[in-house]
Structure 1
Amino acid sequence: MASAIFTTFICRQQRFLSLTRSPVATQLWTRLASTSVQQQPQQQSQNKPTDLKQLKNLKIDYQDDIAIVQFNQENSKVNTLSKAMMDEFVPVFEQLQNDDKVKGIVVMSAKPGSFIAGADINMLESAKNRDELLKISRNGQNVMNQIEQSRKPIVAAIAGSCLGGGFEVALACHYRIAMNDKRTGFGVPEIKLGLLPGAGGTQRLAQRLSLPDALDLVLTGKEVKAKKAKSMGLVDAIVEPIGPGLQTAEEKNIDYLRQVAVQKAKELTLRKHTPKQPGLLENIKSKIMSTSYVRNYIFEQAQKKVMSQTQGLYPAPLKILDVLKQTLESGSKVGYNAEAEGFADLGSTTESKALISLFHGRNECKKNKYGKPEREVKNIAVIGSGLMGAGIAHVSIDKGYNVLLRDTTTKALSRGYSQISKGYQGYVKRKRLTNAEYDRTLANLNCQTTPEGLEKCDMVIEAVFEDLKLKQKVLAEIEQRIPEHCIFASNTSALPIHEIAANSRRPEKVIGMHYFSPVDKMELLEIVRAKKTSEDTVRAAVSVGLKQGKVVIVVGDGPGFYTTRLLMFAGSEVFRLLQEGATPKDIDKATKKFGFPVGSATLFDEVGVDVAAHIARDMHTTFGDRLADKSMPDLLQDLVSNNLLGRKSGQGLYIYQAGVKGGNREINPKFTELIKNYSLEPKEEITMENIQWRTGLRFLNEAARCLEEKIITSPTDGDIGAVFGLGFPPMKGGPFRFMDTYGVSKVVDLMNNYRSKYGDRFAPTQLLVDMAKENKKFYS
């Protein structure tokens, strides 16, 4: 099924929010005067002297009178601000402060590609209550304040990810030098976990940045690269790398960064460091910013944007606005307290717990749980150069794969090549790639209409039209030319893999790889194994998907697999509600208020009513009235016959006109007339809550049934698939996390209630019934 409707959502969830800047407000943005934020008094630690030779998470050495502290977290590829790290850092820092031989300090990382990736999430999760979260924040603030108030200059030498708590460490230092490479980036992504920066980050960003820049950084959680950070004033200097790729070059780069930082620390010891005084223009701007009218205008605009994009369902952005507003109105003493209290409040919310659960789940699905295949995939052929085929080629050619893109006509190939090249040209324009890298990447792509080269392929990914006979025909033709070890993967969203492989002479080498559109932006890859698919074939497909940068779930075979199956069961209730008199706008308003990014009525127009009709017909053959009564496939087919295909034809449930967006679209009068032919008497008043629970319960029940039938192997895979593939509200954590939070027994009671009114399609699956009786949860 076409999944492009979720693109905006997934991208928005990854960077979260994006604030608009009005022309009037832009003229008023100003850097806050450095005197507007005062630090909390330094607290003295009672830690005893530490034996520097016994350190497990830090490395300490010296160059002349400068101490170099290197973060080097034990048994980890990256550094985090874990309890073990901080238990060493705090006393070491105090010892260096009291050592008269040490005149300055450089902090850097011993791990390539990672300065400090953030706070240790496990430490946050271990907090038993709000008071413990409050203590974590206040302790973090105290440590950062001690760094900032150090009487000895502290220089941060940054190479690699500098995020969250790591960024807060860097901000507290007196000088920041960054390596200008692809891996070095700065940001405060706490909002993606339903939190805010809790170690003084909100205060220091407000101090160093203009208000719109501070809001944009904290509310989106986005990462900025070294040059951008320098232009924003977050970094004082950047150094250019000697050369990419080679280990020796990387070591030289780090050594060069270290020398520059040591030299800067020496310079700072020789002169008294005083903050730069604001000039006349800055003072004027500061006066403007200090007026309540301007501040209120800025925050009102930001809050409108937040509410528009989140429906008020995420507590974190609203709390961040409140903390920054208190800081500007009442000063840093109030601001620091508001930050700590806000961190504790947010860490106690179900929304934060759900987002943290997704974070863990996503990381789990980015790892290879299946092992290495017997033979590494190096050469890939993609059959079909349409939107999906070109997208699959796009995410493969920059990962070291040699890709053969094949189609029946040069015109089709030209469109596919244009899509790919245009995407990479965008990377060059945004300076993610150099022109030389662009040329090297496109050199990995070979477009052709002939079958030559298939005999060298390790994997063929078929991306032709969603038609069973066509896919079987392509498989039969391909199997005549590919080598015995070559894997055949079908990019299908609903057709059972065992049916595609029904006539294959080697069904163990056939697998499903369901990509989501557009492939270069959507993270999820649903890999479908049939009963005859070999374990090695699964391992190969997973390895390819992970190398392409995908979040991978492996699911069982069957109509609709997992994601499309859930979508169709919830969608069938949407059409039932429409038949009972609900309007498309009623449906959209209710489902968006529940947290879906796209209204469930608009969804069908975006996917294509013809696509939905095709899938509904096939799935109804298998699931019968449990999916929907016969009127739903008939209704969809009637819409297709009247050319109400959705956005692609300019009309569907809505009328699509240039310049008319979202809620301003007109409900299609043709649809309104046609739906009357399928009208049903409503059992009760159709309210927003009624719409939400009826569509939601169908979604939840089918997710549980997929787990019961082993279509999915774990609640984690189910939640990741639903959120990253279907746009299930992230703040609810996915269907399984939501049922745990709401209560499985309550969900079962609701289903039984709706079953008594609407029939057996609401009958809870046996797994839920058993769990409710035993008071069990999906996650322990």
Structure 2
Amino acid sequence: MSERNTIRWEDLGDGVVGLIFDDPEQSANTMNRAFFDSYLATVDRVEAEKDSIMGIVVTSGKKTFFAGADLNDMLEATKETAAEAFADATNLKRAARRLETLGIPTVAAINGAALGGGLELCLSCHHRIAVDDPKIKVGLPEVKLGLLPGGGGVVRTVRMLGLVPALMQVLLQGTEFRPDKAVEVGLVDELVPTADDLVPAAKKWIAEHPGAQQPWDADPNYKIPGGTPADMELAMNLPAFPANLRKQLRGANYLAPRNILAAAVESTQLEFDAALEVETRYLLDCATSQVAKNMINAFFFNLQTVTKRDRPEGHETFEPKKMVMLGAGMMGAAIAYVSARAGIEVVLKDVTLEAAEKGKEYSETLVRKAVDRGRMTEEKGQALLDRIIPTADPADAAGAELLVEAVFEDVALKAKVYAEIEPYLAEDALLCSNTSGLPITELAEGVTRPADFIGTHFFSPVDKMPLLEIVKGDKTSDETVARTLDYTAVIKKVPIVINDSPGFFTSRVISRFTGEALGMVTEGIPGATIEQASGQAGYPAPVLQLADEINIETILRAFRANPAATEGLEAALLVLEKMMEAGRPGKLRGAGFYDYEDGKRAGIWKGLAEMFPPVADPSQLDVIELGERMMVRQALETVKCFDEGVLETVAEANIGSIMGIGFPAWTGGVVQYMNQYEGGLAGFVERAREFEAKYGEHFAVPASLVEKAERGEIYSDEAVATPA
């Protein structure tokens, strides 16, 4: 029993009690042991004093309403401690049910983010009021961490919204809603302009609803909106859910979505308290799994590490007001958009005004979609577009504090455009290149201030991909790193900072993914089997489809431009060259590994089987092993990146691999994949050696990895140990 009280009891007048979540030892409220004990004691007091209480307002003394479960506890959950965890969850849910069924109207006054367990506490109240602030987020994002809402979230959303809306809008996507959207969905009932309006609005509702109950408690014949599986119409459509989920997951190792679906469906066929128990069992099945630990480690702890990394000290905060974007092609146009969206004036420069204006059309299209969908007002959209100035005249860059370059991947060409634009920039302007693999140190020779030059490798589509790979050249100064991190924060990207190397980290490691898959083509493994293997491994896009979308010609050019980074990719080069000889450079030209009709994939190109005849009996191929080969290959290249000083932290390797190059998220990232391998690093080394014996020396294990495995260690950072 904790002695720390995390819930303050306040008299709000008129018989209304305020229960204020306010953990004195944490900046945010979480469901830790102190909260459990405080909540149970508070409910006991409410029950004892219920005759003198007219209503309850549940709110928070923090900037956020409630942050949800303590994820450190989730990391420690095991099969052996599951019984204790089940008892804790059951006691908490029973306390919430006691409060919910006392006949005292209870209102959640949401003054900040209410996510996960925080929203579940609100759902157990009879009414929910939130401040109409777009910065506030409301939702049940547990699925993104390999978990499910286990504090009543599944059971209550299904009963409130109906099975289909609860699954499709809230539970399976883990969407975080703005308050106005939460009202549309049905998670929030009422909005007020400011936090000061919350308690008066709550007291007003309480006065109008004495003896309030949840609709499923008030009416013994309450029917879930849309019905249950016992209803013919829903029963006929229900089989589509597992089928669609299988299609979406493609057999990848994600337990949480399957458990959410099962818990939701089963909850409709049980009385309320029994449904809560089923939900708890499905939660613990997830929480004690390795996948949940991997995803919590990556998407909470590792992500916090990289987003809150220490900025080099002693340098003023960089707040660029004007930048020049060199190159208005696909990447340049998109970088211009995210920069203008962040409030920066962008001079979009290309060789001709026509090309620059065409680049601005990219932003015009995105703004039009955002306005049509209600995500942006006409005024804000026009203001964004007004900040993008297309031009062919370098003089229009006068005074720009920031340069980002995204022209053709050619060292001489980049040097030429730098020389043309540099005289017009502010004298201390930050100089950035969006190259995806050319050495930053070499490119820095093309500018007059190499200390101010740095790589900013964006990922396509820039407006959706969260990662920015920041690459330090040999002469890049600490101030330049600090200013680049400031720019990254302004445009709301997730930064990883690495050291210069041909291909950097992400391009180098993703080339091993495509390289291994293309090598399989030469082994006679059918394209469809390769696609199934990569999808089943958990990659977000099947590998041959990805190659088509990146563009085969682009991949081949990158391989040839960085021969030092392409060791072991000889088979892949052969396939790429033959595809180019066959006139199939990718999706953009309507012909690649896939055939295309009106820009849409129309099946794998049959000529691939003629070019590389398939094995006699494809049904005997081990699809799991094929996917594992791709992951192991990428992991071994990551070890080399550590050995060569390209990577500095485990957190950056994990986040960069997931957010930048689509390494299967269920693994927790490329380094965590090795750490959590059965048998630890020693087990991973053994498996890699098996692959080396079967498939070649490109699976050779670096000595540093062997030594770490022999010492019984795992890869970890000092600040955040990566749990195996």
What is the TM-score normalised by the length of structure 2? 0.90
- Aligned-pair CA distance for 1:745: 1.4
- 1:377 partnered with 2:319: yes
- 1:237 partnered with 2:190: yes
| 2:363 alignment partner, one of 420, 425, 450 | 420
| Kept after mapping to 1: 8 A contact 2:326/2:349 | yes
Structure 1 range deviating more: 581-590 or 567-576: 567-576
Describe the shift of the 1:334–1:383 C-alpha distance in structure 2 as closer, same or farther (beyond 3 A).
Answer: same
Partners of 2:281 and 2:224 in 1: CA distance: 30
Q: Which stretches in structure 2 are left out of the alignment for 5+ residues?
A: none
| 1:168 alignment partner, one of 107, 120, 127 | 120
Structure 1 range deviating more: 62-71 or 88-97: 88-97
- Give the equivalent residue in structure 2 for 1:524: 467
- Give the equivalent residue in structure 2 for 1:41: none
| Kept after mapping to 2: 8 A contact 1:527/1:553 | yes
- Give the equivalent residue in structure 2 for 1:224: 177
- Aligned-pair CA distance for 1:77: 5.1
SS at 1:615 equivalent: helix
Q: Which stretches in structure 1 are left out of the alignment for 5+ residues?
A: 1-46, 242-252
What are the equivalent positions in structure 2 for 1:75-94 lying under 5 Å apart? 78-94=28-44
Residues 741-780 of structure 1, C-alpha deviations (whole Å, 9 max, x = no match): 1122122222223323443222111121111211211144
Partners of 1:652 and 1:325 in 2: CA distance: 42
| 2:413 alignment partner, one of 455, 460, 470 | 470
- Give the equivalent residue in structure 2 for 1:186: 138
Describe the shift of the 1:278–1:63 C-alpha distance in structure 2 as closer, same or farther (beyond 3 A).
Answer: closer
- Partner AA of 1:542 in structure 2: L
Count matched residues.
Answer: 705
SS at 1:521 equivalent: coil
- Partner AA of 1:761 in structure 2: H
Describe the shift of the 1:59–1:453 C-alpha distance in structure 2 as closer, same or farther (beyond 3 A).
Answer: farther
Structure 1 range deviating more: 703-712 or 317-326: 317-326
Which structure exhibits the higher relative contact order, with contacts defined as CA atoms closer than 8 Å and separated by 6 or more residues?
A: 1
- Aligned-pair CA distance for 1:153: 1.8
Partners of 2:125 and 2:100 in 1: CA distance: 6
| Kept after mapping to 1: 8 A contact 2:8/2:22 | yes
Partners of 2:257 and 2:217 in 1: CA distance: 30
- Aligned-pair CA distance for 1:574: 2.2
- Give the equivalent residue in structure 2 for 1:548: 491
| Kept after mapping to 1: 8 A contact 2:516/2:572 | no
| 1:747 alignment partner, one of 684, 687, 692 | 684
- Aligned-pair CA distance for 1:714: 1.4
SS at 2:474 equivalent: coil
- Give the equivalent residue in structure 2 for 1:196: 148
Partners of 2:89 and 2:217 in 1: CA distance: 31
- Partner AA of 2:145 in structure 1: L
Partners of 1:220 and 1:231 in 2: CA distance: 16
Describe the shift of the 1:520–1:277 C-alpha distance in structure 2 as closer, same or farther (beyond 3 A).
Answer: closer
| 2:666 alignment partner, one of 708, 731, 734 | 731
- Aligned-pair CA distance for 1:570: 2.8
| 1:765 alignment partner, one of 662, 687, 702 | 702
Describe the shift of the 1:335–1:666 C-alpha distance in structure 2 as closer, same or farther (beyond 3 A).
Answer: same
Residues 576-612 of structure 1, C-alpha deviations (whole Å, 9 max, x = no match): 2211212221211111111112222222111111011
- Give the equivalent residue in structure 1 for 2:54: 103
| Kept after mapping to 2: 8 A contact 1:354/1:733 | yes
| 2:239 alignment partner, one of 300, 311, 324 | 300
- 1:317 partnered with 2:257: yes
SS at 1:79 equivalent: coil
What are the equivalent positions in structure 2 for 1:13-24 lying under 5 Å apart? none
- Aligned-pair CA distance for 1:231: 4.0
SS at 2:319 equivalent: coil
| Kept after mapping to 2: 8 A contact 1:134/1:344 | yes
- Aligned-pair CA distance for 1:709: 1.4
Partners of 1:623 and 1:201 in 2: CA distance: 48
- Aligned-pair CA distance for 1:155: 1.2
| 1:703 alignment partner, one of 620, 628, 638 | 638
| Kept after mapping to 1: 8 A contact 2:215/2:222 | no
Partners of 2:427 and 2:616 in 1: CA distance: 58
- Partner AA of 1:264 in structure 2: W
- Aligned-pair CA distance for 1:648: 1.1
- Give the equivalent residue in structure 1 for 2:75: 125
Describe the shift of the 1:109–1:525 C-alpha distance in structure 2 as closer, same or farther (beyond 3 A).
Answer: same
- Give the equivalent residue in structure 2 for 1:65: 15
Percent identity among equivalent residues?
Answer: 30
- 1:611 partnered with 2:554: yes
- Give the equivalent residue in structure 1 for 2:157: 205
- Partner AA of 2:18 in structure 1: I
- Give the equivalent residue in structure 1 for 2:603: 665
Partners of 1:275 and 1:139 in 2: CA distance: 20
- Partner AA of 1:221 in structure 2: G
- Aligned-pair CA distance for 1:644: 1.2
| Kept after mapping to 2: 8 A contact 1:165/1:197 | yes
Describe the shift of the 1:156–1:506 C-alpha distance in structure 2 as closer, same or farther (beyond 3 A).
Answer: same
| Kept after mapping to 2: 8 A contact 1:124/1:133 | no
Describe the shift of the 1:258–1:286 C-alpha distance in structure 2 as closer, same or farther (beyond 3 A).
Answer: closer
SS at 1:494 equivalent: coil
Structure 1 range deviating more: 482-491 or 751-760: 751-760
Residues 15-67 of structure 1, C-alpha deviations (whole Å, 9 max, x = no match): xxxxxxxxxxxxxxxxxxxxxxxxxxxxxxxx99x9xxx95664735234322
Structure 1 range deviating more: 701-710 or 65-74: 65-74
Partners of 1:711 and 1:236 in 2: CA distance: 51
SS at 1:157 equivalent: strand
SS at 1:404 equivalent: strand
| Kept after mapping to 2: 8 A contact 1:167/1:186 | yes
- 1:340 partnered with 2:280: yes
| Kept after mapping to 2: 8 A contact 1:723/1:734 | yes
- Partner AA of 1:262 in structure 2: K
- Aligned-pair CA distance for 1:434: 2.4
- Aligned-pair CA distance for 1:512: 0.3
- 1:722 partnered with 2:663: no
- Give the equivalent residue in structure 2 for 1:261: 202
- Partner AA of 1:650 in structure 2: G
Partners of 2:204 and 2:488 in 1: CA distance: 45
Partners of 2:302 and 2:190 in 1: CA distance: 37
Calculate the aligned-residue CA RMSD, in Å. Answer: 3.0
What is the TM-score normalised by the length of structure 1? 0.84
Partners of 2:659 and 2:515 in 1: CA distance: 21
| Kept after mapping to 1: 8 A contact 2:43/2:98 | no
- Aligned-pair CA distance for 1:376: 1.6
